[in-house]
Structure 1
């Protein structure tokens, strides 16, 4: 009887937590299939006739396909650049104990985004970067590296530190160079951490909107900024906003689902030192 009460209490807590975390998401998704009248109705409308007009209007009224492409370009290349710069930096910090550089990267991650936005905006305005689409893409990608690179550095340091130094010393005796140690020994042994860094960098960069809000032009605008267009001064298109928010959430959700095993394995492995 005592065990039964324990399990009942545990499941009740799980249900409460699930409702707290998933309730707003389920409400967003269901509202994306409602008319504005049903969304703003009080008491809330539970049973309603679903409609796809909110999703169809996204592509009829706005060049929504271009906004999706812009988000993938900015997020994809900023994640890739963050990995290219951050992974070797993390290896150097782990092997040569460059704690001051690690601290600087941590401060860059902890600093508010507006601290970097103002200099970027002044540079962009002075060089007229926003008038050139390629330069504007490049500006946004470099700005988003402020998010991705420190994250990669601090996630990968623990993985490289968990690799036994004896393994690398044996490879050096066999004639392996420093770059050979990095590419042939360190990287293959830290693939779970690389997967975690990629997924988290993508999610953080995908959801970030501050840089794009100030630096992007109409042709390079990502999805996160477009969501503001549905809220006006006197009215709001709640159905369109919910549909846009659902689409914005999908890539990160799908990536997390497919990489779930790697994420669990990577986060667990990174906490264990060899």
Structure 2
């Protein structure tokens, strides 16, 4: 049998194998998407139901919708100020964390300071709840409990290590020859970072910033202990819908939907940079 005949028989087999793997991959993607999407769909659907309909298992996705839950949540006057507090704390803590963590990540990646980076990683390992009591005592002595300052600082405890360890891989993946050429042209090491490395790492910076903002937006424990009624964030405001005697499921789902919308908008606006950043991290080396 000639070589051409063997190849002609092998091509259909290869195509069948690829087709089988593509089919299995499509099924796996569909299952994973449904697992993650169904709770979100149920939440948005429950936001337009009455409390009776939410707890009735016979009521699915087809029902007469109502805007009463949203009207009650907005009329209560607590959710919008809480969203403003979350936005303020999230933006400030993310910006300050990026200012500190991005240059630190460049230094760790360029100068082989992995041991120093590992020390920062300890902040991600230590349970945050174990720090709340000493934090509360120290901040209370300084008169900062209930202020935006204490919330920003506590959220930076999470955001700085997160941004640092995301950005280290990006800077390690950038060609060092570009910075060396900039140094030859007269730039300092930090000048090469600002003009060469930082613009090239913009997708990674955007990815890290979005993840840090989402982590701050969803943080419940720090605000529950360190905030007061004037600085409480959205997760704490949602907690008020749960009482000892009953739970306002309709109001809780409506408030949760309102809380989810800003995060989705941020993710959609930064989608291009997030995809580019994740792809760059995945193809490093």
Query: TM over 0.5, yes or no?
Result: yes
Q: Contact 2:78–2:237 (CA<8 Å) still a contact in 1? A: no
Aligned with residue 50 of structure 1, among 50, 65, 68: 65
Would the alpha carbon gap of residues 102 and 37 (structure 1) be closer, same or farther in structure 2, given more than 3 Å must change? same
Aligned to 2:83: 68
**Higher alpha-carbon deviation: 222-231 or 116-125:** 116-125
Unaligned runs of 5+ in 2: 1-14
Output the aligned Cα RMSD: 2.0
List structure 1 runs of 4+ shifted beyond 3 angstroms. 1-15, 271-274
Normalized against structure 1, the TM-score is what? 0.92
Aligned equivalents of 2:27, 2:169: Cα separation in 1: 36
Would the alpha carbon gap of residues 45 and 272 (structure 1) be closer, same or farther in structure 2, given more than 3 Å must change? closer
Aligned pairs for 1:133-212 (under 5 A) are 136-212=147-223
| Residues paired across the two proteins, number | 270
Normalized against structure 2, the TM-score is what? 0.88
Structure number with bigger Rg: 2
Structure 2 residue 145 is matched with structure 1 residue 130? yes
In the TM superposition, what is the alpha-carbon distance from 1:183 to its structure 2 partner?
0.7
In the TM superposition, what is the alpha-carbon distance from 1:46 to its structure 2 partner?
3.7
In the TM superposition, what is the alpha-carbon distance from 1:178 to its structure 2 partner?
2.1
Aligned equivalents of 1:220, 1:52: Cα separation in 2: 28
Structure 2 residue 247 is matched with structure 1 residue 232? no
CA deviation map 1:143-178 (0-9, x unaligned): 100111101111111111112222212211211012
Q: Contact 2:70–2:251 (CA<8 Å) still a contact in 1? A: yes
Structure 2 residue 277 is matched with structure 1 residue 261? no
Would the alpha carbon gap of residues 269 and 5 (structure 1) be closer, same or farther in structure 2, given more than 3 Å must change? closer
Aligned equivalents of 1:10, 1:181: Cα separation in 2: 43
Unaligned runs of 5+ in 1: none
